[in-house]
Each structure stands twice: as structure tokens, then as C-alpha cells.
Amino acid sequence: LAQTRVANFGAGPSALPESVLLEAASALINFNNTGIGIAEISHRSKEFESYIRNTAQLVREILEVPETHEVLFMQGGGTGQFSAVLLNLLARHRLLHPDIPEKDRVADYVVSGSWSKAAYTEATRLANGATVRIAADSRPHSADGKSFSGLPPHSSYSFSPDPALIYYCENETVSGTQFAGVEGTPSSFPFHLLPDKPLLPLVGDYSSSFMSRPIPRLADHAIIYAGAQKNLGPAGVTVLIVRKDVIVDVDAAAKLGGAPIPISLAYKPFATADSMPNTPSVLPLYISGLVLKRIKALGGVRYYEQFSRRKQERVYGVLKEGKERGVLVPKVREGEGSWMNIVFGINGEGAEKRFLDGAEERGLKFLKGHRSVGGIRVSLYNNVTDEWTDSVVAYIREFVEQEAA
């Protein structure tokens, strides 16, 4: 069966390790010697209760999550969190500062690509009188003034003095930009520019880079979240790392103003019930747990950091060659590109189609860029192997030779 598989460069859902899939296949029939399959077993069974607790513990160990933070699992994907982070943090701000007029509760968004823009747009829908503002925007700093071709320069940030929320997306899956993992460089997230206050309401969307390298300043975040369907498992589960002061009584906050929060989006019921106030996505959680065990066994996020570094160097390398030959057009400024999603265009009439057709023939799948931006996107998530990376690099090189001739 494994031999029938092809190289999957999809942006999510994405490839999972074959060893995990085989183990999951067996658990579909019989989970943990219960005689019941994992898609059938009650989430209230002691076997699954212990499994979900161990899975949260694995996240804690791998990312060295401090005791100040809870690890939670929810549903509703990244999009669900666009709503949840705003609603929970506005509720927290209301409880902390009940006398402030609603319009003076401010949510600051760093807009560096289409996903942070989507989160900002959702916040404007749900703000209900609170102020939603853009604290930095990369678009005015691009060549055409409107595309997400890099990160906002540090000099352009303006954070509010006491915001209810500060939001950024660490890796922009569609635009292909990423904040650098090393602090102090111009392409890192500007932690040094944040307001000088304790317990900052800092939110990081880590959907498409979670578990690919350590998270800088993890403990300084109020919320980190990630949909599972890139580096972790099937779609249907969202992992959250939430600082305890953010886990508030949303009904008490609603009595002070604002709209009530749907219970499925409130963090507190999840924190008090091992992420199971209601039925969780049992099968995606199970598979994510297997992937986490594997990540830990291989050496954790430091292992994947090295692995991802090597893979992206090869792809950006061939992209540079293709640019020098006049064939390929990188879409992101050098040094600001994502390690997980590498995006570029191809010069010439019909060239992108020729590229994608040739890729298909070679069993290199899902290289088409997001429908909103077109072009090519090579996603190099954790389960994209060295061999697949070599194959796509060799193919890009061959294609450039052909087109340049």
C-alpha cells in the first residue's frame, strides 16, 4: 500500500507519517485492546480519557509549556479561533476594567497576510462596539502597495497602550511569509515593541508552523493556537496553549456588557473538563497523539527545526537559480519567506500550467498556489520527506533548464 503513495506538497490537510497511518488503521478496528475501534469508542471511556490527557501532556513536554498555561483541544479550526480569541479576550478585558467604555477596548491586529487579514475581518464583525485596529500592515511596504510580499518593517508598528488583544499570524500559509525564529533580526516578531505591561494579551496563530520549531517567547503569549491539519494530524482538532488568566467566566463578563459568547467558543468549560465539555473529535485527536509521540521520539521541535531548515534551503536555493535564469519569480522578499510554504510565480505564457502538468506526471501533487493568489506553492510540512524535497527540487531545476533554453 505504501508504494502507491505519491509526494504530497498540499498546504493542509497534508501528509501524515505512514507508520502513524498504519497504527491508526489497526486502531480503527481495535483501540488499545478495548475491542472497539477509535472511531466508535465513547470519549468518556477511561481509555480515551487517559489518551487525551496524555496527548495534552505531550504538547506540554515537546514545547516546554510552563505551568502558567493550559493545553486545550477544541473544534472549529483556525476560523473558530478567529472568533474565540477576540470574544474571550474582550470578556477578560471587561472583567479587568469594567468601567472602561466599550469603544475604548482595543484589539490590535498585525496584518501580514491573508490569514491575519481574515482574523482581523472576523474581529470587525464581532467587536460589538469595541475598537479593532491594524497595528501593522505589510501591504503598504510591498512594491505594488497592495500585496503581502513581506513582513511589516519594525519601524511601522504602533501598538495600543493597553489593548484587549494583540494578534499576529506567525506563518502565513497563503502569502508565504513567516516571522523568523531568531529574535532580534528584522524579520522576527517585534516583541521589544510590545507595551511594557505584565500578562500581555498576545495571540499567535501558529496553524501552519506548529511543531516545526520552538516557539519564541511562548510563555509571553496569552494564546497560541493551531489547527492540526498541517504538521499534526487530520482536520477537526485545534490545539491551544492558553495562559490561565485568559480562562475567564464569560457569563460574568457578559453581565457587564457586550454580547454573550457561544459556549462552544468559551475557553473555561474546556479548561475545567480536560477539553471535553462536549464530544471532542476523537479520531483526529487520536491520530494527532500518535504524531506527537513520533515528534517526541525523533527529538522534538529542535529535530524538526533542523529538518525544515535543510528542506527550505534546498527549495529557496533552486528558486534563486530559476530567478537568475529569468524563469521563476519569488513572491516574497528574501529573508522573510516561510519555511513551510514557499510561493513563487513562473514567467511565460502557460508556464504555470506546464509546470503543474509535469509535476502531476511525476507524482508531485498539490503544488498549485492558493486560488486567491495563483502561482506555485511548495509546502514543506514536517511529514514531507527529504526524498520528496529532492524530487521537487530536481523537477524545478529541470523545468527551469527547459524553459530557459
Q: In the structure grid, which three cell numbers stand for residue 404, read together?
A: 530557459
Q: In the structure grid, which three cell numbers stand for residue 360, read together?
A: 502531476
Q: Is residue 75 a contact point for ligand PLP (CB under 6 A)?
A: no
Sites for ligand PLP among residues 225-284 (CB under 6 A): 227
* Cα separation, 330 vs 131, whole angstroms: 36
CA-based radius of gyration for the chain: 22
Pairing between β-strand 364-365 and β-strand 341-346 as defined by DSSP bridges:
unpaired
**Cell 497563503 found at:** 174
Nearer to ligand PLP, 187 or 207 (CB): 207
Q: How far is the CB of 66 from ligand PLP (least distance, A)?
A: 24
Among 126, 164, 169, 343, interactor with ligand PLP by CB under 6 A:
169
Nearer to ligand PLP, 77 or 345 (CB): 77
Among 83, 178, 207, 391, interactor with ligand PLP by CB under 6 A:
207
For the CA atoms of 221, 148, 377, 120, the dihedral, rounded to the nearest 10 degrees, stands at 50
Binding range to ligand PLP, per CB under 6 A, among 16-24, 71-79, 103-111, 271-279:
71-79
Contact indicator for 199, 222 with CB cutoff of 8 Å: yes
Q: Is residue 79 a contact point for ligand PLP (CB under 6 A)?
A: yes
Contact indicator for 210, 221 with CB cutoff of 8 Å: no
Q: How far is the CB of 249 from ligand PLP (least distance, A)?
A: 26
* Cα separation, 197 vs 163, whole angstroms: 10
Q: How far is the CB of 2 from ligand PLP (least distance, A)?
A: 27
Nearer to ligand PLP, 382 or 391 (CB): 382
Binding range to ligand PLP, per CB under 6 A, among 91-99, 203-211, 239-247, 287-295:
203-211
Among 37, 77, 214, 358, interactor with ligand PLP by CB under 6 A:
77
Instruction: Kindly give the interhelix angle for 114-126 and 77-96, rounded to the nearest 10 degrees.
Output: 50
Query: What are the distances in angstroms from CA 345 to CA 23, 77, 161?
Result: 39, 29, 40
Q: How far is the CB of 107 from ligand PLP (least distance, A)?
A: 17
Nearer to ligand PLP, 208 or 275 (CB): 208
Query: Collapsing DSSP states into helix, strand and coil, what is residue 107?
Result: strand
Pattern of binders to ligand PLP over 95-124, x per CB under 6 A? --------------------x---------
Task: Give the DSSP letter of residue 105.
Answer: -
Which among 87, 81, 131, 139 is positioned nearest to 110, based on CA atoms?
A: 139
Contact indicator for 177, 336 with CB cutoff of 8 Å: yes
Q: In the structure grid, which three cell numbers stand for residue 58, read together?
A: 505531550
Nearer to ligand PLP, 130 or 203 (CB): 203
Binding range to ligand PLP, per CB under 6 A, among 88-96, 200-208, 328-336, 383-391:
200-208
Nearer to ligand PLP, 77 or 257 (CB): 77
* Cα separation, 9 vs 13, whole angstroms: 10
Among 8, 138, 149, 173, interactor with ligand PLP by CB under 6 A:
173
Residue 211, C-beta contacts closer than 8 angstroms, at least 6 positions apart: 62, 63, 226, 231, 232, 292, 295, 301, 304, 382
Q: Is residue 12 a contact point for ligand PLP (CB under 6 A)?
A: yes
Among 38, 51, 59, 78, interactor with ligand PLP by CB under 6 A:
78
Q: How far is the CB of 387 from ligand PLP (least distance, A)?
A: 25
* Cα separation, 41 vs 284, whole angstroms: 13
Say how many residues touch ligand PLP, by CB under 6 A. 11
Binding range to ligand PLP, per CB under 6 A, among 53-61, 202-210, 268-276, 329-337:
202-210
Interface residues with ligand PLP (CB under 6 A) are 12, 77-79, 115, 169, 173, 205, 207-208, 227
